[in-house]
């Protein structure tokens, strides 16, 4: 098993007048094809850690290697390109573009990457959505979908460019228990059947228990 | 890029009314700028055309730009000569036949030699100072400002009789003389001669209508006691823009002062430049206002779409894409406004061109507004509009691109 992400004393401190420590000295390794839970009380820095791992935020200390590559010297463009091709984000709230249909939303990262022909993208977006049980809703816009359906569209979108790593921040946090279970199963299948790595923040200890590994955070540190 | 265009279009389409207001703002700016430019340019062209029509394009007179050098100065370079009274110049263009045949060989246009002398026109007991201009009718008709401007008689009447004169109608009424009356011309040499009024012209140029009397060249030469003399050659060119070059060449060769119409009217032409500067300043101001409309809508969009910006950035769109997106939205509004503005401007110009009105002073003429139809005005107005749209789009675009997605994603959770 090779390391997808390796961090060494990763630290993020907000430079306010009274500096706020979000993440402190986090050293961890995330391997290929793992299903990792990040748990901890609210405000413990779970989201902050995920943003750092996803190159959305820059650490103020320590190192982060993603796919064997040091993130420190990457410029804004390279970080964006890495997000586009090797990472998929799923947030607690759906975060879809409201004017576009489910299928168009899934197509957007593919169009940005531009590796496939348009008809192929369209087909692939349809397949991804169908595989998540949304075959009926391809041409609906987000406001015509339920919370659980939107979250599944978001999962489909995170898979658009077939990235090895999915980062999910409380993906079931705003869903009812039935939808939660559905989304959880989907994420689980991504690891079990498609060989992806999923790092998911969750409050649900039962769910965390069903994952491969748990990273517990308290006050920005792993405990 | 097609993706950015798609997203830009959905953003703009998503706020139809506000977009329409911004587009109309730009369109009104562009339309009025075009109409204003057409009117100002039209007025200017009209003015310059009249200028060019009424005066010779190149006027060669028997003057020099600097005082003539005395022969002694040529021989003794270092000697200063003072107290010397220069020899009287016999005024006039020396060797007129050589000069005219040389001009004939290359000037692209028509020209006429004439002798202008100051004198007095007398009728009954009234006297009016006048420029008595001796011309050769056939040649003169090619350059004359009075041909076709006759109230009574005609220009060709000059050649019909040996002692005919053509004067302006203003001069005639001041003299109390009428068509067919005989007036007396007195030259500065003190010679007198009677002439019969064979034509009354009205050019609209007061100095001319009141102070010029046209006679045959030989009569003017007799009056001024200078047989065969001429003191002015007036040139009308096929292309008035070549006047400065023709003037330079004529002056260099003939040694007499040759003035192009542009030089003679330098201050007027400069005033026209100032007018244009003022006009484009106003156009700029209009576009600035239109720019505010665009700035306003793009700013609003970037604020409302902060979440979308965060989504796109988290998906892997770089900042440059975000800048491009909102800049493009500004430009789309600018371009749409521009296109609508062309239509508006064209319609306004067309409407203005239909207006006919009477000039109160002259009463008899129905005139249209002077309008210049020029694609350049449309292009300039659009350039201003797109420029202001680019700036108005870029400022909020840059701010939006810098937006940190983490702040927004965190804010939502
Ligand atoms: N911009 C900020 N200014 C001040 N404190 C912040 C800011 N952003 C986050 N925090 C604080 O940092 C801590 C970590 O936040 P977060 O990573 O969202 O925790 P979690 O996801 O585990 O709930 C929280 O206590 C939060 O209030
Ligand atoms: Mg959180």
Whether residues B339 and B289 share a domain: the answer is yes
Same domain, B23 and B122: no
Whether residues B314 and B406 fall in one domain: yes
Residues with CB under 6 A from ligand 1: A 14, 20, 22, 40, 42-48; B 410
The DSSP call for residue B301 is: H
| Interval B58-78 mean pLDDT | 74
Closest residue by Cα to residue B209 from B271, B131, B94:
B131
Q: pLDDT tens-digit profile of B309-319?
A: 999 999 999 99
Contact B320 A77 (CB under 8 A): yes
Atom of ligand 1 nearest to the CA of A217: 22
- Specify if B370 maps to a domain: yes
Q: Which of B14, B316, B319 lies at the smallest CB-CB distance from A112?
A: B316
**Tell me, what's the pLDDT at B100?**
85
The domain boundary, picked from B239, B257, B279, lies at B239
CA of B406 to the centre of ligand 1 (A): 11
Which candidate in B3, B315, B321, B398 is best for mutational testing of the A interface (most A CBs within 10 A)?
B315
CB contact under 8 A, B316 and A51: no
Q: Does residue B377 lie in a domain region? A: yes
Pick from B36, B28, B38: which is nearest to B289 by CA?
B28
To test the pocket of ligand 1, the residue of A16, A43, A222 to mutate (highest count of ligand atoms within 8 Å of its CB) is: A43
End-to-end CA distance of chain A: 24
Interface contact B406-A56, CB threshold 8 A: yes
**Using 50, 70 and 90 to split pLDDT, how confident is the model at A36?**
very high
B90 domain residue, yes or no = no
pLDDT digits (tens, 9 = 90+) for A37-69: 999 999 999 999 999 999 999 999 999 999 889
Long-range contacts of A75-79 (CB under 8 A, 24+ apart): A76/B318, A76/B319, A77/B318, A77/B320, A79/A55
Residues B125 and B222 in one domain: yes
Asked if residue B294 and residue B232 are part of one domain, the reply reads: no
Whole-number average pLDDT of chain B: 85
Shared domain check, B408 and B272: yes
pLDDT band at B407 (very low <50, low <70, confident <90, very high): confident
The sign of the dihedral angle between the CA atoms of B122, B123, B126, B128 is negative
Interface A-B: count of C-beta contacts within 8 A: 77
Q: Which of B111, B113, B142 is nearest to B243 (CA)?
A: B111
Provide the domain limits for residue B221: 111-239
Least Cα distance to A84 among A191, A33, A187, A158 occurs for: A158
User: What is the predicted pLDDT for the residue at A77?
Assistant: 93
Q: Does any domain span residue B76?
A: no
Within a domain: residue B168?
yes
Ligand 2 center to B413 CA (angstroms):
7
Is residue B62 domain-resident? no
Among B239, B255, B288, identify where a domain stops: B239
The span from the CA of A67 to the CA of A65, in Å, is: 6
CA nearest neighbour of B214 among B127, B125, B154, B126: B154
Of residues B346 and B148, more confidently modeled: B346
pTM, to two decimals:
0.74
Spell out the domains of chain A, with CATH numbers in brackets.
3-222 (3.40.50.300)
Domain end residue (candidates: B218, B239, B260): B239
- Check A112 against B319: CB less than 8 A apart: no
B341 closest CA partner among B22, B28, B21, B37: B28
Same domain flag for B273 and B406: yes
Q: Are B104 and B112 spatial neighbours (Cβ–Cβ below 8 Å)?
A: no
- Is the pLDDT at B412 greater than 60, yes or no? no
Contacts of A81 in chain B (CB under 8 A): 316, 318
The minimum CA-CA distance between A160 and chain B, rounded to whole Å, is 10
- Complex-level ipTM beyond the 0.90 threshold: yes
DSSP E strand stretches across B243-331: 258-260
Mean pLDDT of A98-117: 94
Pairing of strands A165-169, A197-201: parallel
Give Dmax (Cα) for chain A. Answer: 53
Residue B65 lies in a domain: no
Q: Which ligand is nearest to the CA of A39?
A: 1
**Confidence category of residue B413, pLDDT binned at 50, 70, 90:** very low
- The answer to whether residues A110 and A116 touch, using CB atoms and an 8 Å cutoff, is yes
Q: Examine the domain organization and report whether B291 and B183 are in the same domain.
A: no
B235 plus B284 within the same structural domain: no
Domain count, chain B: 2
Q: Looking at the CA of A173, name the nearest ligand.
A: 2
Q: Residues B407, B276: one domain?
A: yes
B355 phi-psi bin (left φ>0, alpha ψ -120 to 50, beta other) = beta
Pocket-testing residue among A12, A41, A45, ligand 1, by greatest number of atoms within 8 A of Cβ: A45
- In this complex, the residue of A51, A92, A108 whose CB is nearest that of residue B406 is A51
pLDDT score recorded for residue B67 = 67
B347 within some domain: yes
Q: In chain B, which residue's Cα lies nearest the Cα of A85?
A: B316
- Distance from Cα A42 to the centre of ligand 2, integer Å: 7
In sequence order, the 6+-apart residues with CB closer than 8 A to the CB of A143 are A98
Tell me what the pLDDT averaged over chain A comes to.
92
pLDDT (tens digit per residue) in B268-305: 889 888 988 998 888 888 878 878 878 888 888 888 88
Residue B360 CA to ligand 2 center (angstroms) comes to 82
What is the number of residues in chain A? 223
Share of chain A above pLDDT 70, in %: 99
Question: Is B313 in Cβ contact with A169 (below 8 Å)?
Answer: no
Q: Do B316 and A85 touch (CB under 8 A)?
A: yes
Q: Within this chain, do residues B36 and B118 fall inside the same structural domain, yes or no? A: no
Give the chain B residue nearest A49 (alpha carbons).
B406
**pLDDT number for residue A135:** 92
Judge if B140 and B47 occupy the same domain. no
Chain B contacts to A (CB-CB under 8 A): 2-3, 7, 10-11, 14, 307-308, 310-321, 404-406, 409-410, 412-413
pLDDT of B110-146, one tens digit each? 999 999 889 999 988 889 999 999 999 888 888 888 8
Instruction: Find the A218 Cα to ligand 2 centroid distance in Å.
Output: 13
Say yes or no for a CB contact (<8 Å) between B315 and A109: yes
CA distance B285 to chain A (A): 36
């Amino acid at each position: 098993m090779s390391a997808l992400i390796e961090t060494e004393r990763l630290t993020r401190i907000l430079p306010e007048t009274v500096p706020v420590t979000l993440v402190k000295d986090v050293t961890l390794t995330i391997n290929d094809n793992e299903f990792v839970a990040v748990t901890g009380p609210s405000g413990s820095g779970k989201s902050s850690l995920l943003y750092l791992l996803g190159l959305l935020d820059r650490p103020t200390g320590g190192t982060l290697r993603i796919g064997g590559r040091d993130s420190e010297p990457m410029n804004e463009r390279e970080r964006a390109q890495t997000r586009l091709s090797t990472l998929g984000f799923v947030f607690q709230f759906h975060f879809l573009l409201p004017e576009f249909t489910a299928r168009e939303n899934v197509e957007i990262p593919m169009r940005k990457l531009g590796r496939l022909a348009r008809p192929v993208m369209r087909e692939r977006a349809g397949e991804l959505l169908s595989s998540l049980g949304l075959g009926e809703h391809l041409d609906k816009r987000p406001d015509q979908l339920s919370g659980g359906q939107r979250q599944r569209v978001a999962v489909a979108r995170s898979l658009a460019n077939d990235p090895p790593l999915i980062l999910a921040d409380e993906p079931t946090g705003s869903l009812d228990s039935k939808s939660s279970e559905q989304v959880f199963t989907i994420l689980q299948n991504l690891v079990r059947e498609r060989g992806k790595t999923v790092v998911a923040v969750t409050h649900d200890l039962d769910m965390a228990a069903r994952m491969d590994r748990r990273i517990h955070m308290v006050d920005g540190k792993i405990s | 890029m097609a993706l950015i265009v798609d997203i830009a279009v959905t953003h703009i389409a998503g706020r139809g009314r506000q977009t329409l207001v911004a587009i109309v703002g730009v369109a009104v700016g562009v339309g009025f700028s075009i109409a204003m430019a057409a009117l100002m340019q039209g007025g200017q062209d009209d003015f310059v055309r009249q200028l060019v029509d009424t005066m010779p394009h190149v006027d060669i007179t028997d003057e020099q730009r600097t005082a003539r050098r005395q022969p002694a100065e040529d021989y003794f370079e270092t000697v200063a000569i003072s107290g010397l009274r220069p020899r009287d110049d016999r005024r006039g263009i020396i060797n007129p036949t050589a000069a005219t045949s040389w001009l004939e060989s290359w000037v692209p246009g028509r020209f006429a030699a004439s002798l202008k002398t100051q004198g007095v026109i007398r009728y009954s007991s009234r006297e009016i100072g006048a420029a008595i201009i001796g011309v050769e009718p056939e040649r003169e008709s090619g350059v004359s400002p009075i041909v076709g401007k006759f109230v009574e008689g005609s220009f060709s009447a000059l050649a019909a009789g040996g002692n005919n004169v053509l004067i302006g109608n203003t001069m005639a009424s001041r003299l109390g003389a009428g068509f067919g009356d005989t007036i007396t011309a007195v030259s500065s040499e003190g010679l007198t001669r009677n002439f019969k009024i064979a034509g009354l012209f009205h050019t609209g140029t007061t100095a001319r209508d009141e102070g010029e009397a046209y006679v045959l060249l030989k009569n003017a030469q007799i009056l001024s006691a200078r047989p065969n003399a001429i003191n002015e050659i007036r040139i009308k060119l096929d292309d008035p823009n070549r006047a400065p070059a023709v003037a330079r060449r004529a002056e260099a060769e003939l040694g007499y002062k040759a003035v192009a119409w542009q030089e003679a009217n330098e201050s007027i032409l400069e005033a026209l430049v100032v007018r244009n500067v003022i006009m484009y300043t106003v156009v700029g101001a209009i576009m600035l206002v239109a720019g505010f409309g665009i700035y306003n809508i793009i700013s609003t969009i970037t604020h409302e779409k902060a979440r979308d910006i965060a989504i796109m950035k988290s998906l892997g769109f770089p900042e440059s894409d975000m800048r491009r997106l909102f800049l493009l939205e500004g430009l789309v509004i600018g371009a749409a406004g521009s296109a609508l503005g062309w239509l508006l401007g064209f319609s306004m110009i067309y409407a203005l061109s239909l207006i006919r009105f009477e000039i109160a002073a002259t009463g008899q003429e129905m005139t249209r507004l002077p309008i210049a139809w020029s694609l350049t005005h449309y292009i300039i107005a659009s350039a201003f509009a797109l420029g202001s749209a680019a700036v108005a789009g870029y400022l909020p675009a840059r701010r939006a691109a810098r937006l940190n997605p983490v702040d927004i994603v965190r804010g939502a959770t």
